[in-house]
Chain A
């Protein structure tokens, strides 16, 4: 599958701070999905994006599908301790198979 570059690799922030992470690809994707994974569990879908330029929110989470269709970002506002986990971007190109990024590990201190 296509290589996705996800950054940053890890973040260590204080409760209440805003967080931003992004994914870039060398090729175009038709769909971007963002997932959160807690240790030992399956990825949980946070936000799905379908159109270039689309900006979608889910509570304190906001994600955007880049205009070039080669990137996406996820923002978390006013972080809380339960935001701790690994966040993965995933893209779909011609088929339905998801290509995952390597993840951003988020740690939040009270």
Chain B
């Protein structure tokens, strides 16, 4: 069964550094999402991406964040200058055309020190 994959599984970075989180969507999916989950809390929406542009974003997704699909395969989330409060699990999710189910990857645990 096709799966969403994410790399790395764990990223440790120093405050102020840039990080790039990567996702490989299910192959025929067209809608891509990033969510985050702070330890012990609920999953929160960050951004959705369709047809090579952002279609929705939350208040969390400020100018420090960006997304792109550079090679038609990977879907990336970049955090320009990480803060301590960016420490969380980051999940990529993908969705096929004409359906509403979103399938999540295993996540990247980001630890900012």
> For the complex, is A70 an interface residue (Cβ under 8 Å from B)?
no
Known contacts A1-B58, A41-B107, A42-B105; A92/B100 CB under 8 A: yes
Q: Please tell me if the beta carbons of B45 and A42 are within 8 angstroms of each other in the complex.
A: no
Q: A42-B106, A103-B42 are in contact. Are A97 and B33 (CB under 8 A)?
A: yes
Q: Enumerate chain B residues within 8 angstroms of A1, measured Cβ to Cβ.
A: 45, 58
**What number of A residues sit within 8 Å (CB to CB) of B?**
24
Chain B contacts to A: CB under 8 angstroms: 4, 31, 33, 35, 41-45, 48, 55-56, 58, 91, 93, 95, 100-107, 109
Given contacts A31-B100, A96-B95, 13 further A-B contacts (CB under 8 A): A40-B107, A40-B109, A41-B106, A42-B4, A43-B104, A88-B42, A92-B100, A96-B48, A98-B102, A100-B42, A100-B43, A102-B41, A102-B42
